[in-house]
Amino acid sequence: MSVAGMGWCSTASASDAVEFIRQTVRESGATTLTRLAVPGFRQGDRFPELVAAALEVPVFWVPENALQAVQALCLTVSQKSLQSNGFAAVAEGCALAGAGPGAWLRTPRQSDAGITCAVAEGEGVE
């Protein structure tokens, strides 16, 4: 299962996000994107639903406890994210949590145009 984890700011556009995620997944060497994993603390924001629909994958809303549980496995640290939401690595954490136990990062956090994306592989979670 290949999972793209995504973080975003209010200035991000869905079309930019779709192209950036496609590019990041392609460059990661993943064959097929299975789902888009996003932080549960942003639930209610329609942005990930728009992006996932364009990518033709489901959205997986990562619960905060699952996001916290994988922080030690993340390769990058965002001080801005840590200060604003308490998580040092949102995109990587979402990718790892969304890909399930034993997941590993294919691509650490990449950023462009207000979007962060990381790609992980794993067995998946329900």
**Residue 40 CB coordination number (10 Å):** 16
Q: DSSP code of 97?
A: H
What phi and psi values does residue 91 have, to the nearest 5 degrees?
Answer: -60, -45
Mean residue pLDDT across the chain: 93
Listed range (43-47, 76-80, 82-86) with the worst mean pLDDT: 82-86
pLDDT in tens, 80-99: 887 888 888 999 999 999 99
Q: How many residues does the chain have?
A: 126
pLDDT in tens, 105-114: 999 999 999 9
Q: Which long-range contacts (CB under 8 A, 24 or more apart) does 52-61 make?
A: 54/14, 54/15, 54/18, 55/4, 55/18, 55/21, 55/22, 57/33, 59/35, 60/3, 60/35, 60/36, 60/98, 60/125
Check: CB of residue 118 under 8 Å from CB of residue 8.
Answer: no
| pLDDT > 70 fraction of the chain, expressed in percent and rounded | 98
pLDDT at 123: 84
Chain center to CA of 21 = 9
- Evaluate if residue 124 carries a pLDDT over 80: no
pLDDT in tens, 21-42: 999 999 999 989 999 999 999 9
Check: CB of residue 1 under 8 Å from CB of residue 35.
Answer: yes
Separation CA 90–CA 95 (nearest Å):
8
